[in-house]
Amino acid sequence: MDFIKIVDALIAALYFCGAVVHVAGAVAGRKKALRAGAAMTLCGFGMHTGVLCVLLAVQFGTELTRSDFYFSLLAWSLLLIFFLLWWRLSASFLGLVAAPLALILFLSSMTLGGSRLPLPPALSGLFFGLHIGALFAAIGLLAMAGVAGAAYIVIEHKIKTKEKLSGFFKTLPPLSTFDKMNRLAVSAGFPLYTLGLISGFIWAGFTWGKTFSWDPKEIAAIFIWLLYAFLFHQRVMIGWQGRKTAWMVIWVFGLTIASMLGINFLLPTHHSFKS
Amino acid sequence: MQYEICLIGLNHRTAGVEIRELFAVKDSRALEERLLAAPGVREAMVVSTCNRVEVLGVGRAGVDLAQVAAAAWAGHCGRTPVELTPHLYVHANLAAVHHLFCVASSLDSMVLGEPQILGQIKQAYRAAVENGSTRVIVNRMLHKAFSVAKRVRTETGIGASAVSISYAAVELAKRIFGDMRGKTAMLIGAGEMAELAAAHLQSAGISGILVANRTYERAVELAKRFSGRAVSFAELLTRLPEVDIVISSTGSPTAIIRARDVKEILRKRRNRPMFFIDIAVPRDIDPDINSLDNVYLYDIDDLKEIVEENLAQRQEEAAKAAEIVDLEAGKFRHWLTSLDLQPTIVDLLSFGENVAKRELKKTLRRLGPDVSPETEQALETLVLSISRKLYHEPLVFLKRRAREEQSADKFIDLARRMFNLDVEAVPGDAHRDRVGANEAGDDELGDDELDPFGGEDCAGGIPADEPAAAPAAPVTPNGPTGPTGPAGEDGRD
């Protein structure tokens, strides 16, 4: 698949330029650079979508067992959510994080290159697809809300302590926008996360005959789910908002990333991306 | 140079308010006409606001314009020039251009960077154009001044942050809530600053305003002004859960809103954020509530501090702005040196156009009513383009002479005599297209860039003194023109 490799390099280059130009534009306060960076990222995103579709269409079975494919997919879903949020909430500052994050994930997908998941051939496509898709969407939302939460905490602290908002902070959206993102990540992200988790267990039940096998990642996922459920309850039922929910989303996101990277690469698990 | 520019004026620095009152020009048109009637004066424009009067004149070289203008101005106000001159500043030629640019960019204002002055100059200029008292030089000067002001505003942060307490409070509310639509504010007690803040909130698009006051009648009256609802003081706490922004300014000696009340209210609101602005001394609101989540409290000192910081920042930005003004004034000098030619070109072209239009009218009359609009249009284009092309070569010749020789006076003079330009009156609509351009410029300078209340240059003090300086501000609920209040009818500077 040399052609795919060339396209991959091109996408990486576009993401790289997009991220650099976008961040530089934000720091220098140049609107044109901001937009140009976003446009480059969008271009890369379009090609990325194409590549993923081609890979899926051409080699449906085998691609689903490649770990680089999942990192690539994660980068893609992050960007998708970033563009959707940008469009809906005009929260352009998300690009500051989304573009570089997508670049890193995409690059790691390229360097991982072709190691296989130890997947049995009997793939129960629907549940596996649900497992991956829902979880990645939830992680994408969490990532956005995590960044928004950090911004919320900093700005809220500044307003509370009557510190002047200057320079970069002045260009950021109001507190209410960050809280809206948090609400989205909680009210939409939690059901998605739950769906991802349940479909994973069902799939495991089909494939391995055991729904729960005390895998470190499964334990971590349950723990995160409990935390997430608490956050969901407090936010949706009790009406928490603001600083506390911002902190909690940061925790949930941080733990998710830690479990994804840390456990996958360090502990023995059947979720490992290494062969 | 064939013409001289002169600008005389007085402002809040050179003259006290009594003097400014004496020499305020209510009818600028009359003064412009009085000036133009003086021998050798070709153009005149008057800007009069409560903080400054500027009289701009252009006349033939050799005329003591400053004296002529001062005499006309003093005469207009029924005074003698002796009373006026000690308070005047006089700028000639480039200095006048520089000064005008500074004024338009609000570098000369009492509140640095306030945006009203530009609008006031635009208004004065429009009136002068309608009056027919401006020509090439003033037109060009003013258009340049507007573009310089715009550059200053977009390229420096001189107008970026709020410099009045009430506006700073609204800016903060926007930082917290974002959009003001769907939000409700409550005024507790009535005070000038609270009312001003309410007017700002209203122009920011707030949905509802509640007014609570110890005397219910006063509350009703205020509520009417902001098309809000009056609330009796007793039910204040029960209404708070529906309120997002509280502006408190009662004379109460003790706190009227306590932390434990707010805790309860927050629970009822499901933690939706609340912003308390306490501008009363002694304070009305328990300072402890600032430690509650989703509650923000700013008192008068906090707001004052913000305003002072912003003012200091404007000072810094003013240095940048001054550079822009210097640069643009330098550019204007180039134009001035080629200036002697400009009126001749304009006169020559309009002379040709007038002839062409006259002939066109005759021809059309002869052709009768059957001529289609297309034909009429084509004919007009034809005659106008012939008239322009005919003058093309002479104009190129004149321009080249003006560039190559130190003085092209004799050629310009020759051309004027050849075409009898000095007898022919300049047509009344010679400046028409320029007026259009000015209005377009107006729209570009969108209101959102401007802090409609930040300036308050007319308030006669630093903005922190807003309420004191505005003893009876008639705050009207409809928008930026509302709280013009303090200084009254003849506009703000």
For this structure, is B6 an active site residue?
Answer: no
Mean of pLDDT values over B12-39: 90
Range of A35-44, B233-242, B408-417 with top mean pLDDT: B233-242
Contact assessment for residue A95 and residue A84, using Cβ atoms and an 8 Å cutoff: no
- Is the minimum CB–CB distance between A174 and chain B shorter than 8 Å? yes
Mean of pLDDT values over B464-471: 35
Alpha carbon distances (Å) from B304 to B83, B251, B279, B300 = 39, 19, 10, 6
B77 or A112: which carries more pLDDT confidence? B77
Instruction: Examine the pLDDT at A60 and tell me if it is beyond 70.
Output: no
A247 or A22: which carries more pLDDT confidence? A247
- Mean pLDDT, all residues of chain B: 80
Structure token pair of residue B447: 């209101």
- Is the minimum CB–CB distance between A173 and chain B shorter than 8 Å? yes
Range of A46-55, B461-470, B475-484 with top mean pLDDT: A46-55
B479 or B206: which carries more pLDDT confidence? B206
Q: Which of B177, B306, B309 sits opposite A176 (nearest CB)?
A: B177
Structure token pair of residue B265: 């209210």
A73: domain range?
A: 1-115
- What is the pLDDT at residue B414? 75
Contact assessment for residue B99 and residue B91, using Cβ atoms and an 8 Å cutoff: yes
d(CA B474, CA B484): 8
- HEC states along chain B? CCEEEEEEEEECCCCCHHHHHHCCCCCHHHHHHHHHHCCCEEEEEEEECCCEEEEEEEEECCCCHHHHHHHHHHHHCCCCHHHHHHHCEEEECHHHHHHHHHHHCCCCCCCCCCCHHHHHHHHHHHHHHHCCCCCHHHHHHHHHHHHHHHHHHHHCCCCCCCCCHHHHHHHHHHHHHCCCCCCEEEEECCCHHHHHHHHHHHHCCCCEEEEEECCHHHHHHHHHHCCCEEEEHHHHHHHHHHCCEEEECCCCCCCCECHHHHHHHHHHCCCCCEEEEECCCCCCECHHHHHCCCEEEEEHHHHHHHHHHHHHHHHHHHHHHHHHHHHHHHHHHHHHHCCCHHHHHHHHHHHHHHHHHHHHHHHHHHHCCCCCHHHHHHHHHHHHHHHHHHHHHHHHHHHHHHHHCCCCHHHHHHHHHHCCCCCCCCCCCCCHHHHHHHHHHHHHCCHHHCCCCCCCHHHCCCHHHHHHHCCCCCCCCCCCCHHHHHHCCCCCC
- Is the minimum CB–CB distance between A176 and chain B shorter than 8 Å? yes
- What is the pLDDT at residue B194? 81
Instruction: Examine the pLDDT at A48 and tell me if it is beyond 80.
Output: yes
Residue B41 φ then ψ, to 5°? -90, 125
Contact assessment for residue A275 and residue A116, using Cβ atoms and an 8 Å cutoff: yes
The verdict on A41 and A133 lying in the same domain is no
- What is the pLDDT at residue A112? 58
The verdict on A67 and A145 lying in the same domain is no
- What is the pLDDT at residue A67? 61
Can you tell me whether residue A66 is helix, strand or coil? strand
Lowest mean pLDDT: which of A88-92, B7-11, B280-284, B352-356? A88-92
d(CA A245, CA A231): 7
Contact assessment for residue B105 and residue B325, using Cβ atoms and an 8 Å cutoff: yes
Residue bearing tokens 């700002």: B200
Q: How close is the nearest chain B Cα to the Cα of A152, in Å? A: 10
Which is it for the CA torsion A54, A57, A63, A67, positive or negative? positive
Partner B, chain A 130-169, Cβ-Cβ below 8 Å: 155, 159-160, 162, 164-165
The verdict on A272 and A142 lying in the same domain is yes
d(CA B34, CA B45): 11
Chain B residues with a Cβ under 8 Å from any Cβ in chain A: 172, 174-179, 270-273, 290, 293-294, 296, 298, 302, 305-306, 309
Contact assessment for residue B473 and residue B485, using Cβ atoms and an 8 Å cutoff: yes
Q: Do the chains contact at A159 and B172, CB–CB below 8 Å?
A: yes
Instruction: Examine the pLDDT at A132 and tell me if it is beyond 50.
Output: yes
d(CA B84, CA B329): 28
Among residues A221, A147, A199, A215, the alpha carbon closest in space to that of A177 is found at: A147
- In chain A, which residues have their Cβ closer than 8 Å to the Cβ of B174? 174
Q: Which of B174, B272, B306 sits opposite A174 (nearest CB)?
A: B174
Instruction: Examine the pLDDT at B275 and tell me if it is beyond 60.
Output: yes
Mean of pLDDT values over B433-457: 38
Contact assessment for residue B159 and residue B449, using Cβ atoms and an 8 Å cutoff: yes
Last residue of a domain, one of A115, A134, A165: A115
Instruction: Examine the pLDDT at B449 and tell me if it is beyond 90.
Output: no
Instruction: Examine the pLDDT at A90 and tell me if it is beyond 50.
Output: yes
Residue bearing tokens 């002004």: B225
Instruction: Flag whether the pTM goes above 0.95.
Output: no
Mean of pLDDT values over B409-433: 60
- What is the pLDDT at residue B193? 80
Mean of pLDDT values over B42-61: 90
Instruction: Examine the pLDDT at A68 and tell me if it is beyond 80.
Output: no
Mean of pLDDT values over A171-198: 86
Last residue of a domain, one of A115, A137, A163: A115
pLDDT digits (tens, 9 = 90+) for B5-15: 999 999 988 98
- What is the pLDDT at residue B439? 38
Contact assessment for residue B88 and residue B62, using Cβ atoms and an 8 Å cutoff: no
Is the omega angle on the peptide bond into residue B282 within 30 degrees of 0, that is, cis? yes
- In chain B, which residues have their Cβ closer than 8 Å to the Cβ of A240? 271
Q: How close is the nearest chain A Cα to the Cα of B256, in Å? A: 21
- Mean pLDDT, all residues of chain A: 78
- What is the pLDDT at residue B486? 35
The verdict on A70 and A146 lying in the same domain is no
DSSP letter (8 states) at residue A156: H
Instruction: Name the pLDDT band for A223 (thresholds 50, 70, 90).
Output: very high
Residue bearing tokens 């066109």: B360
- Is the minimum CB–CB distance between A264 and chain B shorter than 8 Å? no
Mean of pLDDT values over B187-198: 84
Last residue of a domain, one of A82, A115, A148: A115
pLDDT digits (tens, 9 = 90+) for B290-317: 999 999 999 989 999 888 888 888 888 8
> Which of A89, A175, A182 to probe by mutation at the B interface, max B CB count within 10 Å?
A175
How much of chain B exceeds pLDDT 90, in percent? 30
Q: Out of B50, B77, B102, B458, pick the active-site residue.
A: B50
Residue B186 φ then ψ, to 5°? -125, 130
Instruction: Name the pLDDT band for B492 (thresholds 50, 70, 90).
Output: very low
Please state, as a whole number, how many other Cβ atoms lie within 10 Å of the Cβ of residue B58: 23
Instruction: Name the pLDDT band for A64 (thresholds 50, 70, 90).
Output: low
Instruction: Name the pLDDT band for B479 (thresholds 50, 70, 90).
Output: very low
Mean of pLDDT values over B68-82: 91
The verdict on A57 and A86 lying in the same domain is yes
Strands B245-248 and B274-278 turn out to be: parallel
> Dmax over Cα atoms in chain A, in whole Å?
61
CB pairs under 8 A between A and B: 47
Mean of pLDDT values over B336-361: 80
d(CA B397, CA B354): 22
The verdict on A81 and A206 lying in the same domain is no
- What is the pLDDT at residue B437? 38
* Cα dihedral A86→A89→A94→A99 (10° resolution): -10
The verdict on A131 and A232 lying in the same domain is yes
- What is the pLDDT at residue B54? 93
- Edge-to-edge, what's the strand order for the sheet holding B295-299? B229-232, B208-213, B184-188, B245-248, B274-278, B295-299
Mean of pLDDT values over B428-436: 41
d(CA A201, CA B176): 42
- In chain B, which residues have their Cβ closer than 8 Å to the Cβ of A164? 306, 309
- What is the pLDDT at residue A45? 86
Contact assessment for residue B239 and residue B232, using Cβ atoms and an 8 Å cutoff: no
Instruction: Examine the pLDDT at B412 and tell me if it is beyond 90.
Output: no
Contact assessment for residue A68 and residue A112, using Cβ atoms and an 8 Å cutoff: yes
Instruction: Name the pLDDT band for A225 (thresholds 50, 70, 90).
Output: very high
The verdict on A139 and A268 lying in the same domain is yes
- In chain A, which residues have their Cβ closer than 8 Å to the Cβ of B162? none
Lowest mean pLDDT: which of A95-104, A115-124, B181-190? A115-124
> Which of B294, B295, B296 to probe by mutation at the A interface, max A CB count within 10 Å?
B294
d(CA B340, CA B116): 34
The residues facing B52 across adjacent strands are: B11
Domain count, chain A: 2
Alpha carbon distances (Å) from B218 to A143, B233, B365 = 52, 12, 70
Contact assessment for residue B237 and residue B258, using Cβ atoms and an 8 Å cutoff: no
The verdict on A134 and A202 lying in the same domain is yes
- What is the pLDDT at residue A212? 78
Q: Which of B272, B273, B293 sits opposite A244 (nearest CB)?
A: B293
Q: How close is the nearest chain A Cα to the Cα of B237, in Å? A: 21
- In chain A, which residues have their Cβ closer than 8 Å to the Cβ of B306? 162, 164
Lowest mean pLDDT: which of A66-70, B383-387, B410-414? A66-70
DSSP letter (8 states) at residue A36: H
Contacts of B130 by beta carbon, 8 Å cutoff, 6+ apart:
B435
DSSP letter (8 states) at residue A121: S
Among residues A145, A142, A144, A129, the alpha carbon closest in space to that of A69 is found at: A129
In one-letter notation, the amino acid at residue A219 is I
The verdict on A105 and A125 lying in the same domain is no
Residue in chain A lying closest to B301 (CA): A162
Range of A29-38, B219-228, B334-343, B413-422 with top mean pLDDT: B219-228
- What is the pLDDT at residue B431? 43
- What is the pLDDT at residue A93? 64
Q: Do the chains contact at B178 and A174, CB–CB below 8 Å?
A: yes
Instruction: Examine the pLDDT at B389 and tell me if it is beyond 70.
Output: yes
pLDDT digits (tens, 9 = 90+) for B98-141: 999 999 999 998 888 888 899 999 999 999 999 989 887 898 89
The verdict on A132 and A94 lying in the same domain is no
The verdict on A142 and A274 lying in the same domain is yes
Q: Do the chains contact at B271 and A239, CB–CB below 8 Å?
A: yes
- What is the pLDDT at residue A126? 66
Query: B319, exposed or middle or buried, with CB in 10 Å at 0-12, 13-18, 19+?
Result: exposed
H/E run at residue A160: helix A125-160
Instruction: Examine the pLDDT at A39 and tell me if it is beyond 60.
Output: yes
Q: Any long-range contacts for B155-158 (C-beta under 8 Å, 24+ apart)?
A: B155/B320, B155/B324, B156/B317, B156/B318, B156/B320, B156/B321, B156/B324, B157/B313, B157/B314, B157/B317, B158/B105, B158/B106, B158/B107, B158/B112, B158/B113, B158/B314, B158/B317, B158/B318, B158/B320, B158/B321
In one-letter notation, the amino acid at residue A131 is H
